[in-house]
Structure 1
Amino acid sequence: MTSRPETVVRRAPGKLFIAGEYAVVEPGNPALLVAVDRHVTATVSPVEAGVVISSDLAARPVRMRWQDGGFGGLGGLGGDSAADEQRARAGLPHVVSAVEVVGRLLAERGRPAPALEVSISSRLHDNGTKFGLGSSGAVTVATVAAVASFCGLRLSPDSLFRLAMLATAGIDAKASGGDLAASTWGGWIAYQAPDRAAVLDLARRRGVEEALRAPWPGFGVRRLPPPHGLSLEVGWTGTPASTASLVSGLNRRTWRGTASHQRFTETTTDCVRASVSALERGDREELLRQIRRARRELARLDDEVGLGIFTPELTALCDAAEALGGAAKPSGAGGGDCGIALLDAEAAQDISHLRQRWATAGVRPLLIRPAMEGNEE
């Protein structure tokens, strides 16, 4: 008789976009991100049968059963029900998809998927309202890491990211995966998104195992040094925003392929590359200049397309930082969520003034710092 696996706990940090939003959804275009010290924790424990998933953001657990590397039926703990299946897929899609992708890999290797319980807890929300710190990415990475470890799979960071990307792209093929990369590697990173359609097709045709080994067109990631002499300040507008909705809204406006689209992509790409170079040289003045430039380019896009990237709170957040000699911009798709600012780390009075001005403008300062480690026990 084999003994049951022990309980496994893994956690993954959230993320903030520093530059490269919107352009990064196209394969090969770069973005600059940083992992942050708020985490999602996934705990995997043995159970008698099936798969049980619970979350501190869900009303009650759901039970599923393995079938051919995926899930063949879902239902509440008191019995099967179509309503419970719909609730699981709608309410915990990234957890379900993360467990399934590990199950597919096990099936390809001829290994049975064990009975297990996945419990999720998150510090990327405020009483159920998300901050915009990449909770979907963090929960996917943490879940894949915990379930894989529970099942006896040893994953490199690259394999962990790839499994998380397959799980995410199966839900939303437009998702860039930048949040997954930050949650996997931690720290400051330069990231380029793979061609998700090609990756999904590869996994369908040749299997998850092959998708872990084959080259992914467009994909790239590397760690960067933190900014020299600058403090990262984060402000939350109090209004959650949907990145998927904003990106979809941009696509519906037939913007892609226009001269404006080309200009935005070229300028944003140049901003990111110059920012990466400034980080590597320790040139903080150039980094500040590029962040201000990235803000202006997002504002130009917003003016031309009318997405609503800049809310009054995000505009006030940026203006307050620039008035104190810093640089600031929305982090991510905008429309709410968070903004970031970089200020002289030794100017304690300026940082204090910035937080006061934010509070007056209805922006909540978040005491968040970069997380230099990614997925961890």
Structure 2
Amino acid sequence: MTGGRAVVRRAPGKLFVAGEYAVVEPGNEAILVAVDRYITVTVSEAAGPGVVVTSDLAPGAVRHAWQGGRLTGGTDTPHVVAAIETVAALLAERGLPVPPLDVSISSTLHEDGRKFGLGSSGAVTVATVAAVAAYCGLDLSLEERYRLAVLASIQVEPKGSGGDLAASTWGGWIAYSAPDRDVVAGLARGGVEAALRAPWPGFSVRRLPAPNGLRLEVGWTGNPASTTSLVAGLHRRTWRGSASHQKFVATTGDFVSAAVTALEEGDAEGLLRQIRRARQELARLDDEVRLGIFTPELTALCDAAEGVGGAAKPSGAGGGDCGIALLAADAPHDISHVRQRWAAAGVLPLPLSPALEGIEE
């Protein structure tokens, strides 16, 4: 316990650089980057029993009561509630009490009610786990925080890759492959402590250097998208397990591996080639399965970047939200030109930079 002092933790949002869709399946690598907009969670002692949650993303404060290890009293903030329950389960297994908690959430991943698709669900899960654990006196490694966040997120979104959780935890540019979530869910049934200690098949994460001589530009299409529904829509189709599916996974694995090598070797042109391949493969998938990954705005975003020698693609599931572009850092005129073309196409350039650190005090 912190002796009543408030504990503050913040976690950055994220963007997928390459490997989305394929990363949902265990062991397939993706590249992500954390971005410098944040979810901040402040935990202090509540005036009464249970847990009070206040969020600028939900109306008013909600008091939750404990019942059988679960919180009752509303579902406006399911990721926050799941994160608190998961930390509480670990405390209970260690014979430690859960004090009355006042949990306050603020976000810069949204603006004037607009959702940018920067991984707010993952960031709030990571920040809540870190803040509640620290307030309750738990000293956790980065990987333990990530694992607790995954255990929490499975309760809300069982099929997610967890890439957002990894980016928010470690920060910067990372190569990430997801654990087998069915295995993890099975481990969780044996207790949180056991799940923290057991091997997680498929999981890996490592930091990558930032691109050499390239600037990350981000454009928002003005339309929110649901990653959960897009991924679920893909897996409901007969595509899963088909020859096309196998080709997509193999091709994605090839260009992600090549992009990781390009980042590690500082090969800017090599990285641009792989990002263009990523766009082409997502377009092939979209043409074949008709998911709606590419909107007119996302297509215009990509075309504008490629028109000045850069590379661009949707970030994440597509269907709206953000696209990313990598442009020559020493060509400000080209960057300005791309931003102007985006604005003309209804794409809002977002002032974002990579967040070099993940979860912060």
TM-score, normalised with respect to structure 1: 0.94
- How far, CA to CA, are the matches of 2:155 and 2:182 in structure 1? 10
- How far, CA to CA, are the matches of 1:60 and 1:305 in structure 2? 42
2:14 matched to 1:15? yes
> Aligned AA for 1:28?
G
Partner deviation per Cα, 1:232-255 (whole Å, 9 max, x = no partner): 000000000000000011011121
Q: How does 1:278-293 map to 2 (within 5 A)?
A: 278-293=262-277
The aligned residue for residue 82 of structure 1 is none
The aligned residue for residue 266 of structure 1 is 250
- How far, CA to CA, are the matches of 2:28 and 2:155 in structure 1? 21
- Report if aligned partners of 2:230, 2:291 keep a CA contact under 8 Å in 1: yes
- How far, CA to CA, are the matches of 2:77 and 2:27 in structure 1? 29
The aligned residue for residue 51 of structure 2 is 51
- How far, CA to CA, are the matches of 1:68 and 1:337 in structure 2? 38
> Aligned AA for 1:233?
E
CA RMSD of aligned residues (A): 1.0
- Report if aligned partners of 2:45, 2:100 keep a CA contact under 8 Å in 1: yes
> Aligned AA for 2:46?
V
Runs of 4+ residues over 3 Å off in structure 1 = none
The aligned residue for residue 111 of structure 1 is 96
The aligned residue for residue 354 of structure 1 is 338
Identity between Structure 1 and Structure 2 (%): 71
Structure 2 vs 1, CA of residues 285 and 197 (structure 1 numbering), >3 Å: closer, same or farther?
A: same
> Aligned AA for 1:10?
R
Superposition deviation, residue 70 in structure 1: 2.7
Structure 2 vs 1, CA of residues 34 and 254 (structure 1 numbering), >3 Å: closer, same or farther?
A: same
Superposition deviation, residue 69 in structure 1: 3.3
2:146 matched to 1:161? yes
Secondary structure of 1:66's counterpart equals: strand
The aligned residue for residue 177 of structure 1 is 162
Q: Choose the corresponding residue for 1:232, options 188, 193, 216.
A: 216
2:179 matched to 1:194? yes
Superposition deviation, residue 339 in structure 1: 0.2
> Aligned AA for 2:36?
D
- Report if aligned partners of 1:161, 1:180 keep a CA contact under 8 Å in 2: yes
- Report if aligned partners of 2:223, 2:320 keep a CA contact under 8 Å in 1: yes
- Report if aligned partners of 2:15, 2:32 keep a CA contact under 8 Å in 1: yes
Q: Choose the corresponding residue for 1:133, options 111, 118, 125.
A: 118
2:60 matched to 1:60? yes
Superposition deviation, residue 50 in structure 1: 1.1
> Aligned AA for 2:296?
P
Superposition deviation, residue 54 in structure 1: 0.9
Q: Choose the corresponding residue for 1:101, options 76, 86, 108.
A: 86
- How far, CA to CA, are the matches of 2:155 and 2:253 in structure 1? 27
- How far, CA to CA, are the matches of 1:16 and 1:352 in structure 2? 22
- How far, CA to CA, are the matches of 1:229 and 1:32 in structure 2? 18
2:229 matched to 1:241? no
Q: Choose the corresponding residue for 1:146, options 122, 131, 144.
A: 131
Superposition deviation, residue 9 in structure 1: 0.4
- How far, CA to CA, are the matches of 1:367 and 1:236 in structure 2? 10
- How far, CA to CA, are the matches of 2:4 and 2:231 in structure 1? 42
Superposition deviation, residue 68 in structure 1: 4.1
> Aligned AA for 1:7?
A
Q: Choose the corresponding residue for 2:289, options 290, 305, 317.
A: 305
2:199 matched to 1:215? yes
> Aligned AA for 2:195?
A
Secondary structure of 1:286's counterpart equals: helix
- How far, CA to CA, are the matches of 1:289 and 1:367 in structure 2? 25
> Aligned AA for 1:172?
E
Secondary structure of 2:31's counterpart equals: strand
- How far, CA to CA, are the matches of 2:58 and 2:169 in structure 1? 25
- Report if aligned partners of 2:2, 2:137 keep a CA contact under 8 Å in 1: no
Structure 2 vs 1, CA of residues 3 and 26 (structure 1 numbering), >3 Å: closer, same or farther?
A: closer
TM-score, normalised with respect to structure 2: 0.98
- Report if aligned partners of 2:2, 2:136 keep a CA contact under 8 Å in 1: no
- How far, CA to CA, are the matches of 1:155 and 1:163 in structure 2? 10
- How far, CA to CA, are the matches of 2:236 and 2:147 in structure 1? 29
Secondary structure of 1:120's counterpart equals: strand
- Report if aligned partners of 2:219, 2:324 keep a CA contact under 8 Å in 1: yes
Partner deviation per Cα, 1:158-193 (whole Å, 9 max, x = no partner): 000000000001111101000000000000000000
Consecutive unaligned residues of structure 2, counting only runs of 5 or more, are: none
Q: Choose the corresponding residue for 2:107, options 112, 118, 122.
A: 122
Superposition deviation, residue 362 in structure 1: 0.4
- How far, CA to CA, are the matches of 1:271 and 1:246 in structure 2? 22
- How far, CA to CA, are the matches of 1:128 and 1:139 in structure 2? 16
